[in-house]
Amino acid sequence: MSDRRVAGRARIGTDFDSVLQAARSGAPWALERLYQVFSPTVLGYLRIQGAGDPEDLTNEVFLGVLRGLAAFAGTEEAFRSWIFTVAHSRLIDDRRRTSRRPQIGGDAFDRDLDRPGGDAEADALQRLGSQRVQALCEQLVADQRDVLLLRLMAGLTIEAIAEALGKSEGAVKALQRRGLAKLRKILERDPVPL
Amino acid sequence: MSPFDGDTDEMPTPVLDDRALDALLRGTPSPQAGFDWLLPFVEDLGVASSEPAPVVHAALARLLADGFSTSGGDQPVVPAAPAPTPSRARLVRRLAGLGLVAKVALGVGVAAASTTAAGAAGVLPAPAQHAVATVVDATTPFTFPDRASDKAVTGATVSRDATGASDGVAGVDGKAVSDEARNKGQDAGTTSGDTTNAGAASNGTGSSGSGATGIDRANETPAAGNTPTSVPGRGNGGTSGPGSQGSNGGGPPVTTPAAARSTNTVPAAASSNSGPGRP
């Protein structure tokens, strides 16, 4: 395995309880920490899901999450589940608002070309990888894509995904199984190296 | 359910359990046979998640910079726009329904009313205050304060005094006033004995018919014993003289026993303000 960051691994770890407690009392440093750790994964999820303006939507997600911190209590995994539940809900709202199909690899990536980056090669590889993932996910049924991204990118459990999507655990398992089968079939048919 | 519970028309796919998922997310070979093909895809998902934190917009930046305060429990206090009162809401609806010309006319009227109110309060700059006062004086029965006019009148009066037109003596100097005061002081000294004893008592050294001085009177009161033995040159009658420092207030502070007693009451007043008896 390379030293690349792996999906769903962004975490605070043993400091989470103290960070959460400080964030619940409104401490800016703790709010900032939560944002820095979890927002990149949320941004990636929204981007691959084809949100119209992923950065704007990520801001909305964290504005809601951080303002509602007082109502949350639980582990880091539960916190991650909550964030992605909010993110998915905002994504659905965004799709209804814009009334359009997910834009894969469109304006969102073009806008990113203007962003300052420290490593041009790494940025290019990142964009390429993201585009490949998006191209693959586009071939999945929407429900299968939701389940696989929440499972493999956000690292949520079956139970948490069921709650986030408002489905039964059995339905989520079935969607995961069919999604993985479809993904494997695509990769065998079109063996473009990921 | 068998581990290979895929659809009949699809390649059998093992169930991805949490152990296998954790291994994939760690980037290690899957302990569950049949998922190694998924590892590159998961790695690319990781790359897509490794962008820098997105640019923070204004509302979120404010929250991250300032945090929030909690009160009344754990609920964060989020500032919200004040809800319009019913009358305010009606006013807003009415204004929204007005035409452009009506809105312009209303705006001019509001501006004029605001300026007039400010003029009445006398808070406008001098030139503006003068202009408003002039207009109001000319068009209404009301009179507005006009500092510019006041200054002009005051200046004329002083100028006449200074030139000697008013009293025949050029300049407003201490001597001119002193003469006038001296005359008045002599008048007071002459008349005080003819009028009331109170006048003599107030002067302290008056020459009333009874011959009693203010100190004598004071010694007849419960404050006897605390009265001064001599009267400082504060009065304006008798021989205290015109233009004395006492009458002008420019002399040294007069300390009397009563004054000393009055200072004793200050700490008591201060303590009563901070005491538990304050409602």
Pairs across A and B, CB distance < 8 A? 173
To the nearest whole angstrom, how far is the Cα of B49 from the nearest Cα of chain A?
4
Tell me what pLDDT residue B36 has. 78
Res. B222: pLDDT tops 50: yes
Dist CA A137 CA A148 (whole Å): 9
- All structural domains of chain A, each given as residue ranges with its CATH number in brackets, are 13-189 (1.10.10.10)
What is the pLDDT at residue A107?
47
Q: Which is more confidently placed, A26 or B70?
A: A26
Question: pLDDT by residue (tens digit) across B117-132?
Answer: 555 555 566 666 666 6
Helices A28-48 and A54-67, axial angle in degrees (round to 10): 140
Q: Is B25 on the interface with A (CB under 8 A)?
A: yes
Considering only CB atoms, A70 lies closest to which of B15, B41, B74, namely B74
Q: B196-229 burial by CB neighbour count: b if 16+ within 10 A, else e?
A: ebebbbebbbbbbeeeebbeebbeeeeeeeebee
Q: What is the mean pLDDT of residues B79-100?
A: 48
Mean pLDDT of chain B: 57
Q: Is there a contact between B98 and B106 (Cβ–Cβ < 8 Å)?
A: yes
User: Which carries the bigger pLDDT value, residue B200 or residue A171?
Assistant: A171
Lowest-confidence pick of A154-168, B46-60, B216-230: B216-230
Nearest-CB residue to A181 (from B7, B43, B45): B7
Q: What are phi and psi of B70, to 5 degrees?
A: -105, 140
B11 close to A (CB below 8 A): yes
pLDDT at res. A108: 46
Q: What is the DSSP string of A71-137?
A: G--S-HHHHHHHHHHHHHHHHHHHHHHHTS----SSHHHHHHTTS--S-HHHHHHHHHHHHHHHHHH
Q: How far is B30 from chain A (nearest CA, A)?
A: 12
Q: How near does any CA of chain B get to the CA of A99, in Å?
A: 24
Residues of chain A in contact with residue B47, where contact means CB-CB under 8 angstroms, are 4-5, 125-126, 129-130
Q: Which stretches in chain A have pLDDT values below 50?
A: 1-6, 105-109, 111-114, 194
CA distances from A91 to A57, A97, A146, B50 (A): 8, 10, 11, 20
Question: What 8-state DSSP symbol labels residue B76?
Answer: B
pLDDT value of residue B130: 65
Using N-to-C axis directions, what is the helix angle for A16-24 and A76-98, rounded to 10°? Answer: 60
What is residue B125's predicted lDDT score, i.e. its pLDDT?
64
Across the interface, of A28, A132, A182, the residue whose CB is closest to B64 is A28
Q: What is the complex's ipTM, to 2 decimals?
A: 0.81
Encoding tokens for residue B94?
A: 């009415």
Q: What digits encode the pLDDT tens for the residues B237-272? A: 444 334 344 344 333 443 344 444 443 333 333 333
> CA–CA separation, A109 vs A129, rounded Å?
12
